[in-house]
Amino acid sequence: MSLRPDQKFDYRHVGYGFLAACALALLAFFGLGIGAVLDVRQFAFSYLFAFVFFFTISLGALFWVIVHHAVDAEWSVVMRRQLENIACLFSALAVLFIPLVFVAPVLWAWMDPANAGNAVLQEKAAYLNRPFFWGRSLVYFAVFIGSAYLLRAYSVAQDASGLARCTVYNRRVAFASIVPMALCVTFAAVDWLMSLDWHWFSTMWGVYLFAGAALSSLCVLVLVVTALRSVGYFKNLITEEHYHILGKLLLAFTIFWAYIGFSQYMLIWYANIPEETSYFILRNTGSWNVLSILLVAGHFVVPFLLLLPSFGKRRPGFLCGVAWWILAMHLLDVYLMVLPELHRAGFRPSLMDLLAVLAIGSTLVAVYLKALGDSAIYPIRDPRLQQSIDLQN
């Protein structure tokens, strides 16, 4: 079936952007390779930081697609294909995870045989052991990739056939994905991030990562949709009403992130048990504390005050500014999860932090651009498309 020009992404809009992204990715990976030889510890932590940042964005997009189908949402139909494209980056992320396999004992100290005699570690060995750990990681990727691909495949099939049955199938996939996805997010957060310090634990940790993921993927959606609008797509399809809803959700998830973050902090601070407070003592002393305070102000107070009045939520330019800001703050959030474990004495930026973000980021941009042109830019024959276009709020 042929698509109209306004339904299909034309690559002349990116010019050499695709090649530039590939070239940048290659250069950055080359730089990272040299860095890994020089300082493998810095490489491991920088790479995990960048990986988790982009992982959360795909994760959030998958969450939104699942929620969309599970609650039979109307308003988001016209933007759903872009969320599906972002969620399908999981297959690329699975490949990008491979370098971490090679530096695992450097990154996750509990894998290091030198720590094997530790009493705490021996108690936790039933969970923290290599075969189980890698097996779990495989399961996470299988669940995320399987769910994301099925949801996108039915949606694309509907573009051609227009069958309402595809919507019903997607609803079933969404229902079947909710519980596995929630479990996978929680345990992935525990495995990849919490186990960086195997003494420490927090039951809020998975939700905390999820809160940042849902928020930052919305920011990416705002930016992607606005970029596509700026080159002439979505004319009369995505209006300020859609931006208004996105703005309201950004506000809601800014508050949700702060709520979860504070709930975690409050309980640990209040109980004051040494094995729990270690995480915050590290991050709330010295130069790390400056960044932690910046995180509270920048990730919550600033976007909260900007998004509270309604005037900005209906302005695409304003919302894009807020989205960039929140993404920057989410980057800082992930940075503060990972890097303090390496530089325990205080904040020490490294070129490899930047290189890792560039390497993974530009790889994913290239993969995304490839997916963008593979199908229509919105679900053109979804039964709810017209309701979504006529959105009022």
Partner 1 sequence: MENAGNPSAPLYGVGAEFATAADLTRAAREIRGAGYESFDVFSPFPIHGMDKIVGARRSPLGRIVFIGGLTGFLTAVAVQYLPSAVIYPLIVHGKPTGFFAIPAYFPILFETTVLFSAFTAFVGLLMMIGLPRFNHPLFNWERFKGVSGEGFFAVIESRDPRFSTEEAGRFLESLGGSNVTVIHED
Q: Which residues make up the interface to partner 1 (CB under 8 A)? A: 262, 265-266, 269-270, 272, 308, 310, 392-393
Phi, psi of 248 (to 5 degrees): -65, -40
Spatial distance between the Cα atoms of 166 and 156, rounded to a whole number of angstroms: 9
Least separation in angstroms between CB 220 and partner 1? 28
User: Of 2 and 272, which CB lies nearer to partner 1 in the complex structure?
Assistant: 272
Least separation in angstroms between CB 302 and partner 1? 17
Handedness of CA 267, 257, 53, 344 (dihedral sign): negative
Which of 251, 366, 244 is closest to 304 using CA atoms? 251
Beta bridge partners of 376: 8
Spatial distance between the Cα atoms of 386 and 373, rounded to a whole number of angstroms: 23
Least separation in angstroms between CB 344 and partner 1? 20
User: Of 7 and 284, which CB lies nearer to partner 1 in the complex structure?
Assistant: 284
Least separation in angstroms between CB 212 and partner 1? 20
Least separation in angstroms between CB 72 and partner 1? 17
Token duo for residue 258: 């702060």
Q: Which residues contact 323 (CB under 8 A, 6 or more apart)?
A: 218, 219, 220, 222, 223, 250
User: Of 114 and 305, which CB lies nearer to partner 1 in the complex structure?
Assistant: 305
Q: Which residues contact 213 (CB under 8 A, 6 or more apart)?
A: 56, 57, 59, 60, 63, 185
User: Of 30 and 269, which CB lies nearer to partner 1 in the complex structure?
Assistant: 269
User: Of 9 and 280, which CB lies nearer to partner 1 in the complex structure?
Assistant: 280
Q: Side-chain half-sphere of 180: how many Cα atoms within 13 Å? A: 18
User: Of 261 and 316, which CB lies nearer to partner 1 in the complex structure?
Assistant: 261
Least separation in angstroms between CB 266 and partner 1? 6
